[in-house]
Amino acid sequence: MARTSLALRTGAAALAIAAIMSLGGCGWGRTVAEKEALDANNTASAASATSCVDTSGSTIKVGFVNSLSGTMAISEKTVSDSLHMAVDEINADGGVLGKKIEVEQQDGKSEPATFAEKARTLIEKQCVAAVFGGWTSSSRKAMLPVFEEDNALLFYPLQYEGMEASPNIFYSGAAPNQQIVPALDYLKEKGYKKLFLVGSDYVFPQTANRVVKAYAEGNGMQVVGEEYTPMGSTDFTTIVNKLKFSGADAVVNTLNGDSNVAFFKEYKASGLTAETTPVISMSIAEEEVASIGVDNVEGQLTAWNYYQTLDSETNKKFVKDFKTKYGQNRPTSDPMESAYTSVYLWKAMVEKAKSFDVDKVKAAADGVTFDAPEGKVTVDGKNHHIYKTSYIGKIGKDKLIHTVWKSDGPIKPDPYLTTYDWAKSLSAGATDSTSKSE
């Protein structure tokens, strides 16, 4: 595992983060700027040292890095809770390879650079065997070079824009063909042809909307407006006014965090409704519904891979256990279910490998399955994503999301959208970093 002095590594990581942030949300796998920054980082990491993970005792450490403060705390606190619940369950059942899991928690503070800093702390100072967390794609991209440099493992729980695959990240959330594409297929099936795009100004929304625009061009649809706003923004007067007079018959929403509260309140105040101009959201789950106010979002659509209302015995137990642990008023949601699932996938990989060693765990990953609350999931060892079932849901008066459409079964992850003719231009310049090492 390559390591150098803290000063060299911190400086190189800062260059990588700066390059990522300067792309304005481009986010296509390995861009030239990212590759140059990472090459500089790897050059600085000429000296080597062994992992500091201690497997000699009765416990094994893992790290959680979630935003417990800042604009993303509204969404990420519940992810932290579900991660802790998974660890508690596994410990109660004997742990992993006979060792109880000890958690080291860090606060990403809704800042990508802080996520990178905290990830390095978890890996190099707190000596964890794996890290679970991150939410925004900016946070993930800031952490990626840290995990690749130190050959450590990150389990990232969120749906995201795709065009990336790292040998050191397992993506337990949806690839674009498991969320964005099904959402657009649904809108097309229902006859919506004019789309207005609104999102937060960072990696996921801008890159996801490139997918939306490519899909629209190839499927007889039209994008009639595209607007972005800074993370945490609360003024949507101008954007909603543009939406109202754009001629759009549907909205694709990639806003994140508490900006959704202000957007939907302004949307409703303007006279727009779910019946006339429905919004399909990529980042609103059950806990955000309560924060936004159900009166502002009732009848609106969401695209996910899990809802609290899924009718299976596995999910019913999961919901009951979560509410027993954290309160009957706490809903379950896709991101926290995905995070919960990721801990069990790591456990299964470790047990299959019979080792906590990163390279052995990666080698054992392919084909690992887990009967998750969302349904059976399977790890694709080539691209480190998982097979997932897709669901389109509608927000009800009960503050829950109810399925109105589902895929026929788990969808094979295609992070680069290589199987879609309309997406050829999107993946042409991307490179799969997994192929570098595996």
DSSP β-ladder status, 59-66 and 100-107: parallel
C-alpha separations of 92 from 101, 111, 136, 244, 379 in Å: 10, 34, 31, 53, 25
Res. 2: pLDDT tops 60: no
pTM, whole model, 2 decimals?
Answer: 0.86
φ and ψ at residue 229, rounded to 5 degrees:
-140, 150
What CA–CA distance (Å, rounded) separates 394 from 103? Answer: 36
- pLDDT tens per residue, range 396-411: 999 999 999 999 999 9
Q: Give residue limits of the domains in the chain.
A: 59-174+311-388, 178-309+418-433
Element spanning 198, H or E: strand 194-200
- Three-class DSSP category at 38: helix
- pLDDT score for 428: 63
Res. 153: pLDDT tops 60: yes
Q: Give domain 59-174+311-388's CATH superfamily.
A: Response regulator (3.40.50.2300)
> Which residues, 6 or more positions from 55, have their beta carbon under 8 angstroms from its beta carbon?
99, 129, 356
- pLDDT score for 316: 98
- pLDDT score for 40: 43
Res. 43: pLDDT tops 90: no
Contact status, residue 116 vs residue 146, Cβ threshold 8 Å: yes
- pLDDT score for 366: 98
- pLDDT score for 28: 35
- pLDDT score for 51: 87
17, 137, 112, 121: which is closest to 64 by C-alpha? 121
Question: What number is the average pLDDT over the span 314-328?
Answer: 98
- pLDDT tens per residue, range 211-267: 999 999 999 999 999 999 998 899 999 999 999 999 999 999 999 888 999 999 999
Q: Provide the phi-psi class of 158: left if phi over 0, else alpha when psi is between -120 and 50, else beta.
A: beta
Kindly give the interhelix angle for 112-120 and 6-22, rounded to the nearest 10 degrees.
150
**Mean pLDDT (the chain, rounded):** 89
420, 436, 424: which is closest to 144 by C-alpha? 436
- pLDDT tens per residue, range 347-368: 999 999 999 999 999 999 999 9
pLDDT band at 206 (very low <50, low <70, confident <90, very high): very high
Question: What number is the average pLDDT over the span 404-429?
Answer: 91
- pLDDT score for 113: 98
Contact status, residue 212 vs residue 195, Cβ threshold 8 Å: yes
- pLDDT score for 232: 86
- pLDDT score for 11: 45
Least confident of 3-7, 154-158, 229-233, 257-261: 3-7
Question: What number is the average pLDDT over the span 382-392?
Answer: 98
Please state which architecture CATH assigns to domain 178-309+418-433: 3-Layer(aba) Sandwich (3.40)
- Chain position carrying tokens 């493992």: 153
In the chain, what percentage of residues exceed pLDDT 90?
A: 82
- pLDDT score for 75: 86
CA 185, chain centre distance (Å): 21
Contact status, residue 27 vs residue 207, Cβ threshold 8 Å: yes
339, 26, 75: which is closest to 232 by C-alpha? 75
Domain 59-174+311-388 matches domain 178-309+418-433 at the CATH topology level: yes
Residue with the larger pLDDT of the pair 19 and 405: 405
> Which residues, 6 or more positions from 173, have their beta carbon under 8 angstroms from its beta carbon?
156, 157, 158, 159, 160, 305, 334, 335, 338
What CA–CA distance (Å, rounded) separates 137 from 232? Answer: 15
Residue with the larger pLDDT of the pair 38 and 75: 75
- pLDDT score for 257: 82
The DSSP output letter for 422 is G
DSSP β-ladder status, 279-281 and 250-254: parallel
236, 313, 311, 251: which is closest to 284 by C-alpha? 251
